[in-house]
Structure 1
Amino acid sequence: MNRTFQTFVSGTRAGVPPTYEMLKEEHGVSVLGEPQSSAPLTTTVINIPTEISVPDHVVWSLFNTIFMNWCCLGFVAYAYSVKSRDRKMVGDMTGAQSYASTAKCLNIWALVLGIILNIGFIVGVVCMIIFLQV
């Protein structure tokens, strides 16, 4: 830093830190008064409905229809899932929830029965192979 710039920045006292003064600002508040139009104030309220998420279990029902379709429960669950999706598209959330609940119950039963019957089938085949070799 050159000497002229330092003198300009720090003032005449080069080695002493600058003193700071308390600045007092005056704030003025202007009163606007009454609105100039005599029309009554109106408010607008916009009600935004919250999105209610109703799962329709279509993918689960399709899986059960293709892979675990013992006693046709997967197909019936798929039909209820499609009905639930249709009700949701129409805007009937109560009907969609009812059909979705039925589809969920049928999917649970189809999955449990499918797993039990598939395991039973595999155990039966293994037992038949073992007994035929003896």
Structure 2
Amino acid sequence: MDTNQTVPLGQINHIFPPLNYEQHPEDLELQKTQEDPASTIINVHSYEPPAKDFLVWSVFNTLYMNFCCLGFMALVFSVKARDRKVVGDLNGARSYGSTAKCLNIFALIFSLLLTILLISLMATGIMFAT
């Protein structure tokens, strides 16, 4: 055949026969997976923050800022929240923890206001006036 001649596409296989290669087992598995695509399962877990019990804050408020026993009550609810968390009742632990947090906030605010009031009364001379 002359090199200047064009060969129709149908006759190319007769001129250049396809090479016969052996396929490796990995290639056969790859072909099978391409023919039968496997489904992929993705598990999405929602993140739930752990229940807080505010135990350290409650102990601090009980020892130092126990205005009208609010610090002690916060300590009681903090212990209940910790107990619920240990048992596995996260909703109960969150509920008791939220109550303990509110009681701690109120105990802190009232104790700070009382301290500021006492300092201002002593500074103005109204308290301890002789």
1:104 matches 2:101: yes
Partner in structure 1 of residue 118 of structure 2: 121
Please give the secondary structure, in 2, of the residue aligned with 1:71: helix
Q: Which has the higher helix share?
A: 2
Distance 2:87 2:57 in 1: 22
Amino acid at match of 1:111: L
Give me the CA root mean square deviation: 3.2
Q: Deviations over 1:93-112 (max 9, x none)?
A: 01000000000000010000
Which runs of 5 or more structure 1 residues have no equivalent in the other structure?
Answer: 1-25, 35-45
Q: Deviations over 1:3-38 (max 9, x none)?
A: xxxxxxxxxxxxxxxxxxxxxxx8843236x9xxxx
1:29 matches 2:24: yes
Distance 2:22 2:112 in 1: 79
Amino acid at match of 2:112: I
TM-score of the two chains, using structure 2 as the length reference: 0.62
Equivalent positions of 1:1-134 (< 5 A) are 28-30=23-25, 31=28, 52-126=49-123, 127-128=125-126, 131-132=129-130
Deviation at 1:70, TM superposition (A): 1.0
Deviation at 1:58, TM superposition (A): 0.3
Distance 1:27 1:75 in 2: 81
Deviation at 1:128, TM superposition (A): 3.6
